[in-house]
Amino acid sequence: MLRLWALGQRPRIFSCRSLHTTTVNNAAAASDTTSSSAPEWTPTSIRTGLIARKRGMTVMWDDHGARFPVTVLQLENCQVTANIQTVRKDQSEYHAVQVAASDKREKTTTKQMLGHFKKAGVPPKRIVKEFPVTPDAHVPVGTTLSAIHFVPGQFVDVIANSIGKGFQGTMKRWNFKGLRASHGVSVSHRSAGAIGAHQDPGRVWPGKKMAGRLGGERTTTQNLAVVRIDSSLDLIFVRGCVPGVDDAHVMVRDAKKKMTSVAQVQHAKGETDKVLPKGIDIMPFPAGTREMAAQLPPIIQAPTHRRSPFIPRS
């Protein structure tokens, strides 16, 4: 299949002595063609993510009639507030896109943050987070991002604070087995049991798994498939469950394991067909914006690639 983004790639330098001049000519030709101003997605690019709100869960049926649960995420005026480019101590560059979401009253925003949002030209927001990107993936400050940023059929990681469970015992917190239900066990059926050895080491190791507060911490759910996009309401339907309560802010980004690293590995191997998941040709780059969404169909749904589970295999 023709991959338009693959046309502009530099050809690999083969270790073949006789191709010296052709390799040089090809490299020169490649540098001439890649003179377009708009950045183009490459398999080594890392795009920005979005901040959404978890609205709830519902259910959908695929083309074969198999049921699967979906979580509905909604963007609430998600805008880019800054592009970060710094140099670390070891002289490597750190690039990131700072994104903010959920408008807030000026009265409840600090003067410092008010100045920051005014510099970006956006209304004050409740949540500000940044996503590390490659240098070509910076987005102009003030751009309003849209649900069209994600392509149905791709995989995403969703990051949010998990539901707080309070002070919990070791069985729930660390999957301890507890003790027997009968046979003489007295008053300690769910306890942790022993917490150390004897005189050697004669202490409890630091980090010993014990009862304590569970939940309410940053959790990442990886490799969730995007099933449906609704850019009229800025909805992203992801398959499966997502950490956090309803209406919680979540960060959504391209899956590191199934999108970013797969693209890099397959690109290095030269397999252009396996760089992106099945059915996806190119990603919106550097980001899917509201202007882009106005020109595309409002609702897009992913097709079903699997075989029907209702038909027995031969």
The residues of the shown chain that bind other proteins, judged by CB under 8 A, are 1-2, 4-5, 36, 38, 40, 53, 55-56, 58-61, 63, 65, 67, 72, 74, 76, 151-153, 230, 232-235, 247, 278-284, 291-292, 295-303, 310
Which residue number, 173 or 285, has a Cβ lying nearer to other proteins?
285
Q: Distance between CA atoms of 141 and 196, rounded to whole angstroms?
A: 55
The minimum distance between CB 113 and other proteins, in angstroms, equals 21
Q: Which is nearer to other proteins, 212 or 298 (CB)?
A: 298
Cα angle 239, 241, 245 (rounded to 5 degrees) comes to: 135
In angstroms, give the least distance from the CB of 272 to other proteins: 11
Preceding omega of 277 cis (within 30 degrees of 0) = no
Q: Which is nearer to other proteins, 73 or 251 (CB)?
A: 73
* Closest CB 277 distance from other proteins, rounded Å: 9
Nearest distance in Å: CB 107, other proteins: 19
In the complex, the smallest distance separating the C-beta of residue 302 from other proteins, rounded to whole angstroms, is 6
Judged by CB, which is closer to other proteins: 167, or 310? 310
Cα–Cα nearest to 54, from 184, 248, 275, 238: 248
Distance of CA 5 to the CA centre of its chain: 22
Three-state secondary structure readout of 21-56 = HHHHHHHHHHHHHCCCCCCCCCCCCCCCCEEEEEEE
* C-beta of 41 vs 117, nearer to other proteins: 41
84 by DSSP, 3-state: which? strand
Structure tokens at 52: 């959404």
